[in-house]
Structure 1
C-alpha cells in the first residue's frame, strides 16, 4: 500500500494506492473473500465503517440468536467451526469463529473508514474510493462486501410519528424481552426475526401481537432430528424442486397442521421455489408456533395506521400497545455510495441473477448478495478470488504504470 499527501479542493488528505483489491465491509463476506484471496497469494485491503469485524452480528442482533442452519452450512471457506461447537452455534460462538477466522488468515481491516463514494476512473483504469476520513484509495479491483443486510429497513406507515406509548425500535436495536416485561408489544414482520423476538417476549412475560401482512411459509427447523434445510438440499440432488417442496410442506403440515387457521396463510409457490425466485426465506420454527397455537403470540393482520396509543389494522380492529418493534429486515446501502455503475438495481442488488451476480465488470465484484446466506457468500468468495488471482499474476508480469512512480511514499 503506497500513499502520498494531496491537496485538492475536496480536501483529500492523502491518496493511497492499494496493491490488490479493495474490499468494502468486514462482515463474513469481506473476511471470506480476503481469506480466499490470501490463499491465492493476493493481498487485499478491507475498509470497514465500524470499529470491529462483523459489526452487524456483534451489535445489531438479539441475545438469543442462534444460526438457523446447522454449522456446516454456515462455515466460511478454508476453515471449519471448532468441533466442540453445537450443531446450531449461538451468536457469541459464531462471533468467536469469525474472530479466529480473521486471526488465522491475518486479516486486519482498516476500521472506522466509512466509504463516501466509489467510482471507476476510466482514464487511469483504477477504482477511486473516498472515505469520510478524507482518504482516497486506488485499486484495479473493488469488491463490494457490504451485503444485502447493511442498513435496517423500517417501512413508512401512516401515523408513526403520533405514537406516544413506549418505544418504537427496529429489531436491530432489540437485545432481549427483559425491558418489555408485562408489556403489550406490536411486532411488525413475521420472518425469522419477528417470530424469534415474539418467542423471546413471551419468555419475559410480555404479550406480543405479531403482524402478518403477507403469506408466509413456516417449516419445522428439523424433521426427525435432521435439519429441514439439509433434507431439502439432499433431496434436490435427485428429485425435482417442486417434488421436494411438496415433501417439505407435507412435513410442515404434520408438525403444525393447517397454518391458515392460525392466520399464517401459505404462498401458492412452494418454499424452496419461492426462495430461488424471490430470495424470500421460509421461517424455520424454533418454538414460536406452539405459542401461536396457544394464543400467547397473537397474529394480527396488516397495520393500516399507527395511532397515539397503538394501531389500527386492515380488518378494522384497533388495539393499544406499550411498544412497537419493527422486525422488517434490512436493505443494501450500495446506491448511497457506488457511483457510475449500472450493475446494481436502485434497491442495491446485482441486476445479474444468481449464480452470476458476483462479477460486475471493470474489476467490480460483489459478495454476499445471493440471498442464499453464508453458503452463497462462501461460493462467491471462492469464485472472485480465483478470477482476481489470474489477473493479479498477469499484473505482476506487466511493467508498472506511471501511477505507481517514485513520488508515492511507502507507508506500509
Structure 2
C-alpha cells in the first residue's frame, strides 16, 4: 500500500497540470496512468493534421508558458514537445499501466484500487484527496446500428485514423459531426477520398477568429451575450447553412457546452468543401446491409468502402468512482448523481468544471485552459489554496 496526500488518476494535460501545481506547493502525490505513456490520446490516438483549436495563450498549462516561437495554433508535434518539457521541468513521474478498478471514500480517506496491467496484481493507494483527471475522452464509442455487423468494407474509430493517404479514390462515410469528424472529413477530401459525413443534430460552426473573439467577450460579459455574439458572427460569416443539411442549435455554443458538454465545431475548411459539393452531408443512418448504407428519410442507400466513426467516447469514471461513509448529514453527493446518468446535465457539469464532492476531497480537472474563463480560474485558485492549507499538518 502506498500513501500520499493526493492521488491523481490520469496523466493527460489536466493530470500533468495538477501534478505540476502539487510539486510547486511541495504536496506529496501519486499519479496513476492506465496507458504506458503520459498524454496517450495526444501521443497515440490523434490524426496527423490535428492542431489546438484555440490560440496558444489560452491552452498553456500552469507555471510554464509555451515557447514564444510556437505558432498561434500549435500543431500536435509541438504540443507534445511542450508536454515533454513540462514533465521534465516539474519532475512528474506517473505510475504507468495502472488501471483504477475502484475508488472509495470513507472515514476521511480515499482508498484506490488499481490493477497492475503487467503483473495482474491489484495494488492499493490511499490519500486524503482524489483528483479525477481522466477527461471526456476515455473509451471509444461506436453506436448500435441495425446491420452494422454485416458491413463488408473497412470500419474504424476516429482514434485509429492517422491521415487520408490510403483512402484516396475510396468512398468514405464519416459518422459524427463534432470537431474530429469534421476535420477528418476535410483531411479525407484533401487526400482525394470521395467523402460524405453524417450530420444528424444541429451544430454550431465557428471560425477560429470568431471562437477567439467570443472567448474575449465572455471574459467581460454574461454568457448569453457571448452566445448571441457568436451566433450572429457565424451567421454573418457562413450565411444560412440549412440548404446544405446543417441546422444551427437554438441554444448558444456556451450554453450547450455548459449544459450538455457539446462543443462548437471550429471550422477547418469543412464549410467551403460542403458548399462546393466536395463533401456530401447526409442525415442519420437507418440501416446497413453489406456495403450499402441507408439513411433516415431516404429510400435508396449508398455504397461505401470505409466507415469512420467519430462518435465520441464513453466515460469510464462512473464504473469505479464510489463514495460512501462520512459526509455531512443531508449533503448531496454530486458524483453519485452523475454516475446514475452519465449523460445528464448534472453529470456533464461535474466533468466539465472543477467540482467538489461535499468537501474538498474529490476534485475533477478534465480541462485546463488558462485564461479562458476567469470564473473557473478563480474557483481553481481557491481550491488550490484550500488544498494547500489542508495538506499542512
> Is the shorter-chain TM-score for this pair beyond 0.5, marking a shared fold?
yes
SS of 2:195's partner is strand
Q: Higher helix share goes to which structure?
A: 2
1:227-242 aligned within 5 A: 228-242=210-224
Larger Rg: 1
Tell me, yes or no, if the aligned pair for 1:35 and 1:107 is still in contact at 8 Å. yes
Q: Is residue 371 of structure 2 the alignment partner of residue 386 of structure 1?
A: no
Q: Unaligned stretches of 5+ in structure 1?
A: 1-14, 223-227, 397-412
Q: Is residue 43 of structure 2 the alignment partner of residue 58 of structure 1?
A: yes
Q: CA deviation at 1:378?
A: 6.9
CA distance, structure 1, for counterparts of residue 47 and residue 379 of structure 2: 27
Alignment CA distance shift 1:213-1:116 (3 Å): same
SS of 1:115's partner is strand
Number of matched pairs: 371
Tell me, yes or no, if the aligned pair for 2:215 and 2:372 is still in contact at 8 Å. no
CA distance, structure 1, for counterparts of residue 388 and residue 187 of structure 2: 46
Tell me, yes or no, if the aligned pair for 2:173 and 2:308 is still in contact at 8 Å. yes
CA distance, structure 2, for counterparts of residue 208 and residue 85 of structure 1: 32
SS of 2:182's partner is helix
Aligned position for 2:232 = 250
CA RMSD of aligned residues (A): 2.4
TM-score normalised to the size of structure 2?
0.87
Aligned position for 2:129 = 141
CA distance, structure 1, for counterparts of residue 371 and residue 56 of structure 2: 10
Q: CA deviation at 1:251?
A: 2.3
Aligned position for 1:274 = 256
Q: Is residue 188 of structure 2 the alignment partner of residue 212 of structure 1?
A: no
SS of 2:196's partner is strand
Q: Unaligned stretches of 5+ in structure 2?
A: 117-121, 325-332
Q: CA deviation at 1:247?
A: 3.0
Q: CA deviation at 1:374?
A: 9.6
CA distance, structure 1, for counterparts of residue 223 and residue 390 of structure 2: 37
Q: CA deviation at 1:203?
A: 1.1
Q: CA deviation at 1:366?
A: 2.9
Aligned position for 2:119 = none
Q: CA deviation at 1:241?
A: 3.5
SS of 2:5's partner is coil
Q: CA deviation at 1:142?
A: 1.4
Q: Is residue 288 of structure 2 the alignment partner of residue 329 of structure 1?
A: no
1:110 to 65, 70, 95: 95
The more displaced of 352-361 and 290-299 is 352-361
After superposition, the C-alpha distances for 1:334-386 in whole angstroms (9 at most, x for unaligned) are 01222346514135476494686521136532333469899579777645432
SS of 1:19's partner is strand
TM-score normalised to the size of structure 1?
0.84
Alignment CA distance shift 1:175-1:380 (3 Å): farther
Alignment CA distance shift 1:137-1:176 (3 Å): same
Alignment CA distance shift 1:183-1:47 (3 Å): same
CA distance, structure 1, for counterparts of residue 348 and residue 232 of structure 2: 34
Q: CA deviation at 1:96?
A: 1.1
